[in-house]
Amino acid sequence: MDLKWIALAALILQNSGIAITMRYSLLNKAPEDKYIASTAVLMSEVIKLIISSALCYLLDAKGSMKDFQSILNIEGRSDVGKLCVPSILYTLQNSLQYISMANLSAPVFQVLYQMKIITTAVFSVMMLSRKILATQWISIIALTSGVALVQLSQQEGGGGGDGQNSFVGLVSVLCGCLTSGFAGVYFEMVLKASSASIWLRNIQLSVIGIVLSTAACFLRDSDALTQRGFFVGYGVDVWSVILLQAAGGMIVATVVKYADNVLKGFATSVSIILSAVWSAALFNDVEINSGFLVGSAVVISAVFGFSHQPSPAKLAVDLLPSKSQST
């Protein structure tokens, strides 16, 4: 239980931090000084591989290189084919987020992106046979409405500035919500159905992600890479975004291991409220008005109402050992 709530708190702080750093990294930069998004996705996978390898070596192998090599050779080969599915979808999701943010204003993007809570809940029911109570569905709807109210309280309308295409942004958000929901639940299913550690699974995901991200770099941005270079526009702000993205993957893996994907969605939504507060303090671009206060109260109430129901996630976890013991 402690690990569950610690992981959720870490996810809230990570999501809030990346929203602020990414906004800062994109503000007031000339086109020639902006970094190439596909390279940032690739570097986050590289950093995640380094961190997850270190944690696997220290925590799983207890600092023994022999045991570490044994883990990689024996357990590291299991379920690699299954992990290709979420790895492909996570890479696609990251690319879709950049497309969405390039074509929609921040409030509209954040409101629409909360639909991933609904897709995650639906896929949890379909793929994990998870039962979500009627009161929990009400909490999901209330949370989505509260986040929408918070974001819409900051700006009338949204999207459609120079060089933006609202339809492209909308389609990319919808696709991102679908890939996020399916990939998250699928990864949860793989994690909870095997004895392999989170860190080993992250090593496998990172290796696959590096291959996919490298291909994406050269297929999509080969001209830009040739003309401008790989690390164009990189600074402390960009590296902060990359590090937070790398940490986010492992925090999410911890959350789906000890909690579940629907609670992950709630933590992400709460982080949006924190991002608005931080943004108001740092950039002075958020108005703390009645819409913000009411929406925040709705979100907090929805989180409280959902988390105090009998947990279907706990039931799902409890069933897995009993099945393995009986066979």
Q: What is the pLDDT of residues 39-84, one digit of tens each?
A: 988 998 899 899 989 989 998 899 999 889 888 887 766 677 788 8
Residue 239 banded pLDDT, cuts 50, 70, 90: very high
Burial per residue of 84-107, b for 16 or more beta-carbon CB atoms within 10 angstroms, e otherwise: eebbebbbbbbbbbbbbbbbbbbb
Structure confidence at residue 197 (pLDDT): 79
- Nearest 5°: the CA angle 112, 39, 266 is 30
Structure confidence at residue 325 (pLDDT): 35
DSSP notation for 42-101: HHHHHHHHHHHHHHIIIIISTT-HHHHHHHHHHGGGTTHHHHHHHHHHHHHHHHHHHHHH
Structure confidence at residue 43 (pLDDT): 93
Q: Mean pLDDT throughout 134-148?
A: 82
pLDDT beyond 70 at 297? yes
Taking the C-alpha atoms of residue 15 and residue 2, their distance in angstroms, rounded to an integer, is: 20
Q: Mean pLDDT throughout 210-229?
A: 88
pLDDT beyond 70 at 261? no
Tokens coding 54:
């270190």
User: Are 52 and 199 within 8 A, CB to CB?
Assistant: yes
Structure confidence at residue 311 (pLDDT): 44
Look at 196 and 34; give whichever has higher pLDDT. 34
Q: Kindly list the distances between the CA atom of residue 68 and the CA atoms of 49, 71, 177, 199, in Å, as whole numbers in the listed order.
A: 14, 5, 36, 12
Structure confidence at residue 76 (pLDDT): 63
Compute the mean pLDDT over every residue in the chain, rounded to the nearest whole number.
77
Look at 290 and 114; give whichever has higher pLDDT. 290
- Which is nearest to 179 in space by CA: 126, 120, 127? 120
What is the dihedral sign for C-alpha 7, 52, 74, 78? positive
- Which is nearest to 86 in space by CA: 201, 186, 172, 3? 186
- Nearest 5°: the CA angle 269, 271, 273 is 85
Q: Kindly list the distances between the CA atom of residue 160 and the CA atoms of 34, 100, 152, 236, 274, in Å, as whole numbers in the listed order.
A: 21, 12, 16, 30, 26
- Which is nearest to 100 in space by CA: 40, 177, 152, 31? 177
Q: What is the pTM of this model?
A: 0.72
Q: Domain residue spans in the chain? A: 2-134+157-259
SS3 content of the chain, % helix, strand, coil (to 5): 80, 0, 20
pLDDT beyond 70 at 166? no
Structure confidence at residue 57 (pLDDT): 92
